[in-house]
Amino acid sequence: MKTHVIITSLILSLACPAPAEKPRAATGHAATYANVSYCKHERNVLDFWQAKGEGPRPLLIYIHGGGWIKGDKKAMQNPQTYLAHGISVASVNYRLLDEGITLPTPVHDAARAVQFLRSKAGEWNIDKNKIVLSGQSAGACSSLWIACHDDLAKPGSNDPVERESTRVLGAGVRIGQTSIDPVVIEPWIGPNVFHPMIYKAVGEDSVEAMQRNYAKHKELYQEFSAINHLSKGDPPLFLAYDSRFDMSVPAKSINHGIHHPVFGVKFKEQSSKVGHDKVELMIKNHDESEQFSDVDDFVIKTLTGGAGKGSVTGEKPATIIPVPSKLKKFMPKRHNQKLAEAKKGTFDLVMIGDSITHNWESQKNYKAAFADCKMLNLGFAGDRTQNVLWRIEHGALDGISPKLVTLMIGTNHAHDPRKGFTPDKPEDVFTGIKEIVAEVRKRLPNAKLIVFSVFPRGPESTQERVTALNAMLPKLADGKHVFHMDINQAFLGKDGAYKPALYKRDQLHLDAKGYDAWAKALLPILKKQGL
């Protein structure tokens, strides 16, 4: 048993009998049960998505970020990724730092949610022994604390929820804080680590007040730093830090500081020191995990014992599970713009694709290439098949009746893993494209659909995956409504390699000459369709 500071108020904060309240059922991709109360406060609610499958299902519990100051359980946007692997999902709200609310409240609320979900195991078909935590930023901090702390269960409690364990099978988190102790973290990262999360957590209103009263808050800071609870018997932990936050010290800004990769580096060092050695660290452009491609991969492997996304035996590949684009800064705006554009009139031609299609809009030859037909460009940078399916599910093809639809998708599934991407199996990508074809046919039954072979690209290892995918695509054609077309010869030289003169330096995106070649190859197709 680990020895920790015992603070009476910390223990008391967990005592919270849940009100007798029936959850609200939901349908479709909404939660199976929404806004279920797990304690008294209005913020003590969670959403639950129940996975299908034989026997009790493993469970992912997501704890949202926001510095314990803001945020919401709606941050869980992709439960389908886990549901496809037979993993149930819960997303938790908790009380936020405010006047009178400090630590331990937000963290202990999250721990209470873990216990509550265990108490629902029989009713919601949850496997109590297969629970993994996840979260971002402050949600990551809470997840790591729960995963590393001694069990908070109270076997003799009159409250059945309190009798449940808080121990979990693992935690996979993003940009999390492994310590919140200002005396510890400032030497690591510099003064820009003092985000409001750090001083508001103990009820202070400024950095100066926090520093002045540090002795008063020292025990709280030490208690709620996960790094102080790491021990040999703790479960596997996966910490990811993305490319927004580099390794430079001191941190460049408050946002950089509070999400600095050094938090993960120090945590892994402590893991080795105490004989734990079960921390996997992924720092984009610095340190890549050999075992896991990302947090999703860690969670799925840990809960299923499978081989990661899209490859668990008997489960659907990730390529057919609709999820929104990860490019959240600008892709939602473009999606809404395209929905509005579709409502303005009729279209002869709709082109579905990724950045290769998307970027045509910015070319000088764009209007000339489609001068004789009304064209709707539904290309979205970064899209994979699952993102296209999400857009279709969210209205991308509603209210339009084009004569012709073209589809070219798949190159983003083939990226070189050395670049920080995870390639998908060509057969899984083909399955995703097949699903898109089915959705287009269902929604636009009167339109002809042309599936283009994915354009040639570099490097050679990536092109091999594209070639393997392209070999499967002719199977999609039925000769009546769906057609396959390969115009890749327009982009190849005599040696069979792609023509660098038609591409940008990244060996992927077309330059102006490349789009001219595409327009030339597309022209007879349009004429044949009367466009």
CA distance linking residue 434 with residue 183, whole number of Å: 56
pLDDT at 24: 40
Query: How far is CA 389 from each of CA 76, 95, 385, 392, 456, rounded to the nearest angstrom?
Result: 18, 35, 6, 5, 24
pLDDT of residue 118: 97
Q: What is the mean pLDDT of the chain?
A: 87
Which residue is listed with tokens 């030859």? 365
Interhelix angle 138-148/105-119, rounded to 10 degrees, is: 60
What is the average per-residue pLDDT within 365-379?
83
Q: How far is CA 358 from CA 127, 335, 377, 457, 518, in A?
A: 44, 12, 7, 17, 13
Residue 58 pLDDT exceeds 80: yes
pLDDT exceeds cutoff 80 at 51 = yes
**Structure confidence at residue 416 (pLDDT):** 58
Taking the whole predicted model, whether its pTM rises above 0.75 is answered as no
Task: Give yes or no for residue 15 having a pLDDT over 70.
Answer: no
3-state SS class at 25? strand
Q: How far apart are CA 484 and CA 433, in angstroms?
A: 12
Residue 420 scores a pLDDT above 70: no
Q: Please name every residue paired with 379 in a beta bridge, in sequence order, or none if there are none.
A: 353
- Residue 422: CB atoms within 10 A of its CB come to 16
Name the residue ranges covered by the structural domains of the chain.
Answer: 8-17+30-310, 331-528
**Average pLDDT of span 173-199:** 97
Cβ-contact 318, 75 below 8 angstroms: no
The confidence score (pLDDT) of residue 328 equals: 67
Decide if domain 8-17+30-310 falls under CATH 3.40.50.1820: yes
Are the C-beta atoms of 296 and 304 separated by less than 8 Å?
Answer: no
And the tokens for 244? Answer: 């927004």
Calculate Rg over the CA atoms of the chain.
26
> Which amino acid would we find at residue 161?
V
Given this model, what pLDDT does residue 29 score? 59
Question: What pLDDT, on a 0 to 100 scale, did the predictor assign at position 244?
Answer: 75
- Decide if pLDDT at 46 tops 70: yes
* Percentage of the chain lying above the pLDDT 70 cut: 89
Q: What angle in degrees, to the nearest 10, is found between the helix axes of 214-223 and 182-189? A: 80
Residue 22 phi/psi, 5° resolution?
-75, 135
Pick the range with the lowest mean pLDDT from 10-14, 64-68, 143-147.
10-14
How would you class 101 by CB atoms within 10 Å of its CB: exposed for 0-12, middle for 13-18, buried for 19 or more?
A: middle
Rounded Cα gap, residues 112 and 164, in angstroms: 9
Cross-strand pairs, 377: 351
Distance, CA of 231 to CA of 226 (rounded, Å)? 10
Task: Report in angstroms the alpha-carbon separations of 84 from 32, 52, 121, 126, 388.
Answer: 15, 9, 20, 16, 17
**Sequence-distant (≥ 6) Cβ neighbours of residue 453 within 8 angstroms:** 408, 470, 473, 484, 485, 486, 487, 488
Task: Give the confidence band of 23 by pLDDT, cuts at 50, 70, 90.
Answer: very low
pLDDT at 3 over 70: no
Distance of CA 41 to CAs 21, 35, 106, 375, Å?
13, 12, 12, 52
Q: What pLDDT shows up at residue 371?
A: 73
Please tell me the predicted confidence (pLDDT) of residue 5.
Answer: 41
Query: Distances in Å between the alpha carbon of 132 and those of 162, 298, 380?
Result: 19, 10, 33
Nearest-5° Cα angle at 352, 349 to 355:
125
Tokens of 295: 């947090």
Fold match flag (8-17+30-310 vs 331-528): yes
CB contact burial 71-93 (16+ within 10 A = b; e otherwise):
bebebbebbbbbbbbbbbbbbbb
Higher-confidence position of 151 and 496: 151
Q: State the pLDDT at residue 350.
A: 94
Burial class of residue 100, CB neighbours in 10 A (0-12, 13-18, 19+):
exposed
For 274-311, write each residue's pLDDT tens digit: 999 999 999 977 766 667 888 998 999 999 875 433 33
CATH 3.40.50.1110 fits 331-528, yes or no: yes
Q: Is the pLDDT of residue 8 over 60?
A: no
Average pLDDT over residues 106-121: 98
User: DSSP letter at 287?
Assistant: B
Q: Highest-confidence range of 278-292, 293-307, 357-371, 439-453, by mean pLDDT?
A: 439-453
For 222-252, how does the pLDDT look when each residue is reduced to its tens digit (9 = 90+)? 999 999 999 999 999 999 998 677 889 999 9
Residue 44 has pLDDT above 60, yes or no: yes
